[in-house]
Amino acid sequence: MGCAKEEWNNQCCCNCKFQVRIYKHPLNKESFTKGSILDKIGYGCLFPESIGKVVFMDRRHGLCEVWKKKKAAGNESKIRR
């Protein structure tokens, strides 16, 4: 799992263990978030210090101070990809 953001020393959000994908839900009222659970709307950061909170990102790549290397893929669910 690599990233083209070499200037970040490979510490991009796309390979951080705290990054998750965020999907729509059919019962949401807002048009941006309403839809199929298969429709991705962005990414979130679930770092431990933010218990009960998600930091929303509209792009996959970024850089922050809580980066931790994601474990090697293999046992991940296909819906998380």
The alpha carbon of 30 is separated from its chain's Cα centroid by a whole number of angstroms, namely 21
pLDDT of residue 1: 47
* 27: amino acid identity, one letter: L
pTM (two decimals)? 0.73
Where is pLDDT greater, at 51 or 41?
Answer: 41
For the chain, which residues make up each domain, given as ranges? 18-62
Q: Is the pLDDT of residue 27 over 90?
A: yes
**Cβ burial 47-67 (10 Å sphere, 16+ → b, else e):** beeeeeeebebeeeebeeeeb
Determine what percent of the chain is predicted with pLDDT higher than 90.
47
Q: How confident is the model at residue 19 (pLDDT cuts 50, 70, 90)?
A: very high
